[in-house]
Chains A and B, each alone.
Chain A
């Protein structure tokens, strides 16, 4: 990429808006996923009793079942949240930057 194009893009305020928004959004979601997954693993390692309780009085289904499936579903939901915002807001910003500099 030519140096003048790089400078034109970097001096565009929308470029800075795009990268700061996207960076913080991606890292926050990544941190949430890390906390959910390692939280789950640490509960298994240190507090199995919590996951072994019946889900409701007299049930065979334990608390661990919806929590485990919940971790799987949360991964899907988090990617969905990211795509929703990235494919609308972030892509719109990228498009505007392109239109302004190219």
Chain B
């Protein structure tokens, strides 16, 4: 015990020292103004989160502590943590950048990201809480054959986690490069090491608190930028009408930024993207896992309510930030526009830096530093949540239930999940380095399409349809996973744009509409054609599952006295 605590303290110290040193080095070489406030605030964040990890490590002893923070997180805390998991740096910087360039279309995008939450509330949250223990695979294997179902669910989880991780790591490396002047490889490595520390030592408890702190910082920072920009841009009237009027005067698209443009052209693409966002959210393993950290269904529901409120508020802020950035940054003489290699005037650092540059315009170097630190913290928190979900799929689903058939000592299972965390952290670093030069924007779409087509269908059908069988679930689940991946590879984004192989074989950018139909059809056909003895038992077992699902009687962590 003492040994690893010492090791932990030593690692933490060397990491903080290393970060400071590296930042200094790069600053000297590039002769750029090193953003001292950013580095100080980031180090404060890292110090605080490592302190929390130390605190959490002493409270993380059992498997339930490690995977589900002992089930002792309140609905409000979990709501903040869910919002923390969901509000990535990519959505903060990406959506405000989208609004900066396209105006109204950015809002359409935000709306799509939010509307999945009510469905999670109505169809998934309390059901998950009542049926599961640590991972959503607990729910989909509840009345089915354990080995094949766990393998399917764990594979779906790991594919989603890895795809999401690549996008986050590459984004992290690039962002830190721009904001702190740190070398890409160094940035990615720091992220990897920190999340390994959070997750292996502090488990879900530390991960949850890292998410909560990050959510508060991000919401606070975005609020200051959004309303600060509104105040400055409108000359103190704070009237959105004045903000919009000035924006249309400055933006070269004029009042086209106030109405829907070209983002939604084909209704099929729009509906398909909407389905991926809406139902993909309900298939993200790191989000689903959060419902096991609360003590009961009542708190699970509250957490979705709070999360929806925080995330919705956040998206409204990104809209204001985008428009504030148009007014305060887009004028050629603002000092934030630079001429790029093609001779075109563009925002310093690219469109995704709209929120960051706006922070500097509104609050000077101090606010810039704060927002840079928040962006880094955001990436750390999201990556930590993903890594924990991936490690749980490996240890709880694959190791304990598939490989060892459930005959495993709890301590051994936790040990395996810590090893898995270490391995995943290293993989994340390596993937981040390998994908440095790739355009990873398509990965977000792919992640949500896979989550919506592989994880969501088996989850929702296993809860609501008594006639589903193992064979049906396997057929539909694997078909959904394979078809969504294949359609993305054969579609315009990867086939034409990334691989440059000419016209796409699959014509749509967003495959979820089709791959989800394939998955549900697969489940249905596979189940109704299944007349095996197992199938009959699985039908019969639905009754008990449904009673537990509806009432919470017998649920994990429910009062059994």
Contact = CB atoms under 8 A, between A and B. Distances in A.
Contact of A98 (B260, B302, B553): B553
B122 A60 contact: no
B551 interface: yes
Nearest to B269: A45
Contact of B302 (A22, A59, A83): A83
B561 to A, nearest CB: 10
Given A41-B274, A61-B240, A30 B118 contact: yes
Interface in A1-35: 1, 3, 5-6, 9-10, 15, 18-19, 22, 26-27, 29-30, 33
B121 A9 contact: no
A44 B270 contact: yes
A45 B261 CA distance: 10
Most chain-A CB neighbours within 10 Å: which of B118, B122, B241, B301? B118
Nearest to A69: B316
A86 B127 CA distance: 13
Given A15-B550, A44-B108, A68-B111, A73 B312 contact: yes
Contacts of A10: 543, 547
Given A38-B271, A79-B308, A87-B301, A64 B258 contact: yes
B302 A75 contact: no
Contacts of A101: 553
Contacts of B255: 60
A1 B553 contact: yes
Contacts of A73: 312
B118 A75 contact: yes
B544 A82 contact: no
Max chain A Cβ within 10 angstroms of own Cβ: one of B258, B271, B301, B544:
B258
B119 A72 contact: no
Contacts of B248: 60
Interface size class of A (residues with CB under 8 A): 35 or more
Nearest to B259: A52
A32 B464 CA distance: 20
Contacts of B265: 45
B267 A42 contact: yes
Nearest to B121: A79
B501 to A, nearest CB: 29
A15 to B, nearest CB: 7
A47 B301 CA distance: 36
Contacts of B259: 48, 51-52, 62, 64
A33 B260 contact: no
A73 B304 CA distance: 14
B536 interface: no
Interface in A81-100: 82-83, 86-87, 91, 94, 97-98
Contact of B118 (A60, A64, A79): A79
B434 interface: no
B121 A83 contact: yes
B309 interface: yes
Contact of A75 (B115, B240, B258, B298): B115
Residue among B107, B260, B298, B316 with most chain A CB within 10 A: B260
Interface in B269-302: 270-271, 274, 278, 297-298, 301-302
B27 to A, nearest CB: 41
A37 B240 contact: no
Given A72-B316, A73-B312, A87-B301, A62 B258 contact: yes
Interface string B518-555: 00000000000000000000000001100110111110
A76 B309 contact: yes
A16 B530 CA distance: 30
Contact of B551 (A78, A80, A94): A94
B547 A6 contact: yes
B117 A1 contact: no
B244 interface: yes
Contacts of B544: 1, 3, 6
Nearest to B267: A45
Contacts of A61: 240-241, 244, 258
A13 B412 CA distance: 45
A40 B471 CA distance: 38
A90 to B, nearest CB: 9
B123 interface: yes
A71 B115 contact: yes
7 contacts: A26-B122, A41-B264, A42-B267, A60-B241, A71-B111, A98-B551, A98-B553
Given A42-B267, A86-B298, 12 more contacts: A1-B544, A9-B547, A33-B119, A37-B111, A44-B270, A62-B104, A62-B258, A64-B107, A71-B111, A75-B115, A82-B118, A82-B121
Closest 7 pairs (CB-CB, A-B)? A52-B259, A26-B122, A45-B267, A68-B107, A83-B305, A72-B312, A60-B245
